[in-house]
Structure 1
């Protein structure tokens, strides 16, 4: 007769994210929940065909950008891509995040809540969530400008001697805060 021990932890494996579960991380929980942010997320994730199209577009673009540019080694041996970082920089450049906040400021509550929930990748994941949401909420003119920046970065990255820094300069982007 064998005995199996199960080690209990306070951390649980999350379900695959949905639009609502992913972007509502930016709004806080409980008493810290930002009602205006929650309303924006509800609108973006359950809104019209226009919002649904914007959500689908940025998710596709973000996946595409994962293979654009040089890989950047981050915390815990995880890497990001220059393309994904360029998206954060472009959203900041064009004031995409609600309240004219930077991607990092907009992701602050997500990072705080995420750290309490035992995730190892909060400092990386939350700013990317904020950048994607900033794109969704950006004005049509700002979305167009961000798309142009991403096209520029993708073209530059295909060059033989292209580096992330060279492409940032070529596309007039500035490195985001760590």
Structure 2
């Protein structure tokens, strides 16, 4: 029983130490919404396709360079931290940035949103508007440490259970008479 307790504590302690050493990243999102500019009979599919064009603008070198300079990060770091998507069946463009600093992540996402919004100013088909700006105070932390702590506790209990089972199994085998005698 002592071996099971020690195994569980060892797994728990190791798991919690590793969890605390994981780098924290903050994820923020800016959203642009697109709508028909002047022709109300434009289908939603056309607007969604046009919004996809602006997803390309958001990932462009010009956009990334502007945002990297504004957020004081490297282009490579921002490119790795950037996720751009158009939500299915909508004309909403989400620009998500995940960095070790929530303010830098929000600055980068908002800068890219501003670049895309300016690019849409001359579009004759659709108008783009920033409908949700990235907020550093509302950034989601990654990884979810509370979830990982639950996993560490479960792993510790599982390890303790395995050691306990193995100890009982070995104890029973040692107590059994040899069948060949």
| Higher RCO (CA 8 Å, separation ≥ 6 residues) | 2
- Name the structure where strand makes up a greater proportion of residues: 2
Fold match, TM over 0.5?
A: no
Q: Answer with 1 or 2: which has the greater Rg.
A: 2
TM-score by length of 1: 0.30
